[in-house]
Amino acid sequence: MDWLDGAVLRGSGEDAFVVEYGEEIAPEIGRRVAALADAFDRAAPDGLVEVVPTFRSLLVLYDPERTTREALLAALPAPDDDPSHETGTHWTLPVCLEGEAAEDIAECAAGLGISEARLREIFLAGTYQVGMYGFAPGFAYLSGVDEALAIPRRPQPRPPMPAGSLILAGGMAALTSISMPTGWYVIGRTAITLFRPEAEPMVPFAVGDRIAFRAVPLDELDRLAATHDGGLTRTTS
């Protein structure tokens, strides 16, 4: 299969183009985007400036004085037989889903018509894919949420929640990098720092990485907050 099979190419000014793989948030589309981003990074063709992946598309920025869209696409390595194959790293991230770390879990569970215990059970059973960063540096959007947890956004934003919160709404989850108001439901908190401008890379996850969550009590979360990685562990790659 070619990198562009089923894709739509759209121009974006004089120095960028977009490769779109679909109109929905789906893990298989996300894997194709992540694989294409990885291919551009590995090829590192002359004139490539940056690639920016999203849930369903890849923005490719380049220097038009040094290259063209056609040259960049021609420089890509041959894809695997299945370009939707799994790429990236698997992680396990501790999360507290109770007490003051999960301020909205009772409200969220009531809105879903399930118990808090059932909400925790369903969420912890899932594996989530980093679909994109957006809204704020290090703000990670996650796909793979079970349909049983698909709750609409709030009609009005709630007060600011702490950085590192795990939030849920609109069929997605997200890990927040800053404290801010939100229209999502705060169902848990992690101890990870999601944006370190002095680090390389500045964010802990690549788009396409997968995350499993491990429940911890609040006192362990406090202990993990004193570590440099918040208890994040690499599972496989």
Query: Which residues 6+ apart lie within 8 Å of 124 measured at CB?
Result: 97, 213, 214, 215
Compute the radius of gyration of the chain from its Cα atoms.
Answer: 19
Q: What is the model's pTM?
A: 0.86
| Domains of the chain from N-terminus onward | 8-74 (3.30.1360.40), 90-236 (2.40.100.10)
**Residue-wise pLDDT tens for the chain (237 aa)?**
588 888 999 999 999 999 999 888 888 888 899 889 989 999 999 999 999 999 899 999 999 999 999 999 999 998 765 444 456 799 999 999 999 999 999 999 999 999 999 999 999 999 999 999 988 999 999 999 999 999 999 999 999 999 999 999 999 999 999 999 999 999 999 999 999 999 888 999 999 899 999 999 999 998 998 888 899 999 875
Nearest residue to 29 (alpha-carbon basis) of 90, 89, 84: 84
Q: How much is the pLDDT for 66?
A: 96
6 burial (CB, 10 Å; 0-12 / 13-18 / 19+) is: exposed
The DSSP bridge pattern shows strands 172-175 and 165-169 to be antiparallel
Q: How much is the pLDDT for 1?
A: 52
Q: At what angle do helices 116-125 and 105-112 cross, to 10 degrees?
A: 90
Order of strands across the sheet with 57-62?
8-11, 16-20, 57-62, 48-53
Helix (H) or strand (E) holding 109: helix 105-112
Q: How much is the pLDDT for 83?
A: 47
Q: How much is the pLDDT for 46?
A: 94
Q: How much is the pLDDT for 81?
A: 53
Query: Which residues 6+ apart lie within 8 Å of 147 measured at CB?
Result: 171
